[in-house]
């Protein structure tokens, strides 16, 4: 899947302490292929990789992140951007009813969506009504009635056996009816064809003109991949629309339609449908979709936290110390501990770091009380002792223990842990480049 391909790219970057132009080019090529294979439209892929590359070269990003994390951050933000950035909400009419027209190919999921929307709106206190303006297929009206019943809303349809086959008239009449019955929202279901078809477009346009919709939603099956783009373009030209609903996201592992449709049509994706049940429906959140495509929710959380906690200067200073010989002091140790503590429960933080699980056991005991004790012990040391912990002999240990209200064993443990930590940090910084000082290119 796209997520797997992208994580492979990032994994190969992760081992690098610094990123060369060649590394960056290689990653961009891999990302490009991954997107194309996921059926993302070529123009979108080009625009996407170009802006990721520009930003990565500009190295505008946070100093607390290593190269892989920086690229992940940029890719994530660009994905969110291409998916539309912010969620767009429904626009309600000043004078009810608000009219929502559904358009799209047959099988796209319009009728199902009508029910989902109705239920969702009803739960928010609205009194929606559904309109059966698909008179093309014999069962279409009945299907909408079933869906409406499940959602617990009224369905406006031509009288059975009345012989009325004019969807435009049904749609027009439905608005008057909704006003009389005080429905504040009207959702109009229309007919689709299996392919793009001039008659279908003309009918949808005629219904549009009859009901003067506040929102026209283009409904598209995410599983049709590249075809989503051509279909969207045809509906844009033939009927016009204000928003997109992606359906069958439950079956789409690739995310291609989602990534293309917004960029190509310029209209926002507003809702997402992800199953046959009426509850399988939600407002579309570009950031959640991006994180799903990236498949790196935990890493993104970690990046966010690292950015807020580590101030770049402090970080650069630490890194130099960790990499240098012997000048990482107990003061630095304390500062580092307090920074880690600010990031939240230590187990969570470590769980998010790649390859850190083996260290978890050692650090599990580091609860808040422990932090406080460590702070007390270090603060009872003289500046010289903090600079050079090797000075701390037996008599000094006793003095420190008494001064901090702890025991000699506590002091011993702390000093030991400090030496261990110093060793561990050096290993870590050479293995993962974690905490490395920004994007350095050679």
Selection from ligand GDP, Mg ion, none that 25 binds (CB < 5 to 8 A by kind) is none
135 belongs to an annotated ligand binding site: no
Residues 6+ apart with CB under 8 A from 407: 401
Least distance to Mg ion, CB of residue 358, Å: 55
Burial class (CB in 10 A: 0-12, 13-18, 19+), 356: middle
Using DSSP, how many helices (H) and how many strands (E) does the chain show? 20, 8
Tell me: does residue 142 bind ligand GDP (CB under 6 A): no
Lay out the site mask for ligand GDP across 253-292 (x = CB under 6 A, - = otherwise).
--------------------xxxx---x------------
Burial class (CB in 10 A: 0-12, 13-18, 19+), 239: buried
Report yes or no: 267 and 218 within 8 Å, Cβ to Cβ: yes
Tell me: does residue 320 bind ligand GDP (CB under 6 A): no
Tell me: does residue 203 bind Mg ion (CB under 5 A): no
Least distance to ligand GDP, CB of residue 191, Å: 8
Q: Where are the alpha helices (DSSP H) in 190-295?
A: 198-211, 227-238, 256-265, 286-294
Judged by CB under 5 A, the residue of 3, 111, 273, 315 near Mg ion is 111
Q: Segment contacting ligand GDP (CB under 6 A): 247-255, 342-350, 366-374, 413-421?
A: 247-255
From the list 4, 67, 58, 422, the residue with the least C-alpha distance to 254 is 4
Selection from Mg ion, ligand GDP, none that 276 binds (CB < 5 to 8 A by kind) is ligand GDP
Choose between 109 and 128: whose C-beta lies nearer to ligand GDP: 109
Query: Computed over its alpha carbons, how large is the radius of gyration of the chain?
Result: 30
Q: Segment contacting ligand GDP (CB under 6 A): 25-33, 36-44, 104-112, 117-125?
A: 104-112
From the list 191, 34, 167, the residue with the least C-alpha distance to 110 is 191
Tell me: does residue 190 bind ligand GDP (CB under 6 A): no
Choose between 146 and 424: whose C-beta lies nearer to ligand GDP: 146
Structure tokens at 99: 């009219």
Selection from ligand GDP, Mg ion, none that 255 binds (CB < 5 to 8 A by kind) is none
Residues that constitute the known binding site: 104-111, 189-193, 247-250
Residues that constitute the known binding site for GTP: 104-111, 189-193, 247-250
């Amino acid at each position: 899947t796209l997520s797997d391909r992208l994580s492979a790219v990032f994994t190969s970057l992760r081992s690098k302490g610094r990123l060369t132009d060649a590394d960056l080019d290689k990653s961009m090529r891999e990302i490009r292929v991954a997107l194309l294979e996921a059926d993302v439209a070529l123009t979108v892929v080009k625009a996407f990789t170009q802006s990721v590359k520009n930003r990565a070269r500009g190295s505008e990003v946070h100093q607390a992140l290593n190269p892989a994390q920086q690229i992940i951050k940029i890719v994530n933000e660009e994905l969110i951007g291409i998916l539309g950035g912010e969620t767009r909400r429904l626009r309600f009419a000043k004078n009810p009813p608000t009219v929502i027209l559904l358009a799209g190919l047959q099988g796209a999921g319009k009728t199902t969506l009508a029910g989902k929307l109705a239920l969702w709106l009803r739960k928010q206190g609205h009194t929606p009504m559904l309109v059966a303006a698909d008179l093309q297929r014999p069962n279409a009206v009945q299907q909408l009635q079933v869906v409406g019943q499940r959602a617990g809303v009224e369905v406006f349809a031509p009288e059975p056996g009345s012989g009325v086959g004019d969807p435009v008239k049904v749609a027009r009449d439905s608005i008057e009816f909704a006003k009389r019955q005080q429905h504040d929202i009207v959702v109009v279901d229309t007919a689709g064809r299996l392919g793009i078809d001039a008659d279908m477009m003309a009918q949808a346009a005629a219904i549009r003109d009859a009901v003067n919709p506040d929102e026209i939603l283009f409904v598209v099956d995410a599983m049709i991949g590249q075809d989503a783009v051509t279909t969207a373009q045809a509906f844009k030209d033939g009927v016009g629309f204000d928003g997109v609903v992606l359906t069958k996201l439950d079956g789409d592992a690739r995310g291609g339609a989602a990534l293309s449709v917004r960029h190509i049509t310029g209209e926002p994706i507003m809702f997402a449908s992800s199953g046959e049940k009426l509850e399988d429906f939600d407002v579309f959140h570009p950031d959640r979709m991006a994180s799903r495509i990236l498949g790196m929710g935990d890493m993104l959380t970690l990046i966010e936290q690292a950015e807020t906690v580590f101030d770049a200067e402090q970080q650069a200073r630490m890194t130099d110390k960790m990499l240098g010989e012997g000048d990482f002091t107990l003061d630095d140790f304390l500062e580092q501990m307090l920074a880690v503590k600010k990031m939240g429960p230590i187990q969570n933080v470590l769980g998010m770091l790649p390859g850190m699980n083996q260290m978890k056991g050692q650090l599990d005991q580091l609860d808040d009380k422990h932090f406080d004790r460590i702070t007390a012990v270090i603060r009872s040391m003289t500046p010289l002792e903090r600079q050079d912990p090797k000075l701390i002999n037996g008599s000094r240990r006793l003095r420190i223990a008494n001064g901090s209200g702890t025991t000699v064993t506590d002091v011993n443990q702390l000093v030991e842990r400090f030496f261990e930590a110093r060793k561990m940090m050096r290993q870590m910084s050479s293995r993962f480049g974690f905490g490395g000082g920004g994007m350095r290119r050679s």
